[in-house]
Amino acid sequence: MPEANPDESRLQHEAVHERIQRVKTEAFKNLGAMNYQNKVFAFAGQIRQNHPDYERYLCYHRLISSTPWGEIIEGDFTGEDSVERFFESMLSKDE
């Protein structure tokens, strides 16, 4: 199995976080501050429950609009805990 190119991996993670920021901004505009904040708060609780190391993930900090510290994990969570998918689902639902 070929080894991943570190530069390619870094660019892939940057793209994920750029997409997260874009859909996050759209979701905020579409839902309004209070509805948006309630949904983010509930989802952040799910992340904290499912991932004991949640504070190490840059995508978690993007979710809650905080600044990461220490060693961080660049990628997004997988499956139902994906931050990118969470924001995309907020855009796709009629609320």
Domain boundaries, the chain: 7-92
Q: Looking at residue 91, what is its pLDDT?
A: 83
pLDDT: which is higher, 75 or 54: 54
Average pLDDT, integer, range 1-9: 48
What is the rounded distance in angstroms from the CA atom of residue 43 to the CA atom of residue 20? Answer: 14
Opening angle at CA 19, ends 17 and 24, nearest 5: 95
Q: How confident is residue 12, by pLDDT bands cut at 50, 70 and 90?
A: low
What is the rounded distance in angstroms from the CA atom of residue 69 to the CA atom of residue 38? Answer: 25
Q: pTM for this structure?
A: 0.77
Q: Looking at residue 14, what is its pLDDT?
A: 61
Q: Looking at residue 93, what is its pLDDT?
A: 65
Average pLDDT, integer, range 24-41: 92
